[in-house]
Amino acid sequence: MRYALAGGGKRIRPVLCLAVGDALGVEPVELLPAAAALELVHSFSLVHDDLPALDDDAVRRGQPSAHVRFGEATAILAGDALLAEAYRLALSYGSPDVARELARSTLAMIGGQYLDVTGGEPDLEALDRLKTGALFGACIGCALAVAGVPSDEQAPWRQFGGEIGLLFQLVDDVLDEDGHVLTLGVNGTRRLAEHALRRADDCLDRVAADTSVLRDIAGGLLERTS
């Protein structure tokens, strides 16, 4: 479990959760269990997706994948335990809302991976929403839950999460030269990403919070090169 977590990565999900919380006036320490839980769910999905029966990736972030380093049995169990530990952390809050965000998004993510593996869903955008968008949405949702933002004020925030997830996936496609790049080309895909960034900024115009850090993060996601 530690090996899977310590390999680095961008930590974009916890960063996003903490940044939304910060904009809403929540102390980072209050958000840490939720932020960590989000990274654990992401990490669980990578460990299982790398398995030979799924994507069969022997390398993750320049290091041997968990199953290559520790064997398949341990990797399967480590993935399981990363998911369970994520819920344990999410359940350290008095309200079940953070854990509910996690449960909803984990199910969507696994459903997306299932459709991808079995070829049951040809629609790339539906797949992206399930495989990437749902957990990005939960990053925002967890912060809203901890901040206690009422449901009727959550719409622009949640929409922001959707755009950020899309933006992230589009830039991923450009960097990996797959997904949308196969039909739209690099320039077409980058253009879509720029539109998503613009819509994300529009969402932030509609919330009463200091969103400067979030705008920097969103802009950085468009410019990233890894």
Task: Summarize as ranges the residues that interact with a copy of itself (CB under 8 A).
Answer: 44, 48, 51, 53-54, 71-74, 76-77, 79-81, 83-85, 87-88, 91, 93-96, 99-100, 102-104, 106-107, 110-111, 113-114, 117-118
Name the strand (E) or helix (H) holding 59. Answer: strand 59-60
**Angstrom distance (rounded) from CA 41 to CA 215:** 25
User: Structure tokens of 226?
Assistant: 């890894």
Task: Rank residues 7 and 111 by Cβ distance to a copy of itself and give the closer one.
Answer: 111
Task: Rank residues 107 and 186 by Cβ distance to a copy of itself and give the closer one.
Answer: 107
**Angstrom distance (rounded) from CA 89 to CA 73:** 24
Task: Rank residues 83 and 140 by Cβ distance to a copy of itself and give the closer one.
Answer: 83
**Angstrom distance (rounded) from CA 26 to CA 73:** 40
Task: Rank residues 55 and 201 by Cβ distance to a copy of itself and give the closer one.
Answer: 55
Whether residue 102 contacts residue 87, with contact meaning beta carbons closer than 8 Å, is answered with yes
Task: Rank residues 93 and 188 by Cβ distance to a copy of itself and give the closer one.
Answer: 93
Number of CB atoms found within 10 A of residue 187's CB: 10
Name the strand (E) or helix (H) holding 64. Answer: strand 63-64
Task: Rank residues 78 and 197 by Cβ distance to a copy of itself and give the closer one.
Answer: 78
Q: How far is the CB of 27 from a copy of itself (least distance, A)?
A: 21
**Angstrom distance (rounded) from CA 160 to CA 201:** 8
Q: How far is the CB of 42 from a copy of itself (least distance, A)?
A: 13
* Residue 63 DSSP label: E
Give residue 89's identity as a one-letter amino acid code: L
Helix (H, G, I), strand (E, B) or coil at 60: strand
Q: How far is the CB of 220 from a copy of itself (least distance, A)?
A: 31
Helix (H, G, I), strand (E, B) or coil at 103: helix
Q: How far is the CB of 76 from a copy of itself (least distance, A)?
A: 6
Q: How far is the CB of 7 from a copy of itself (least distance, A)?
A: 20
Q: How far is the CB of 157 from a copy of itself (least distance, A)?
A: 21
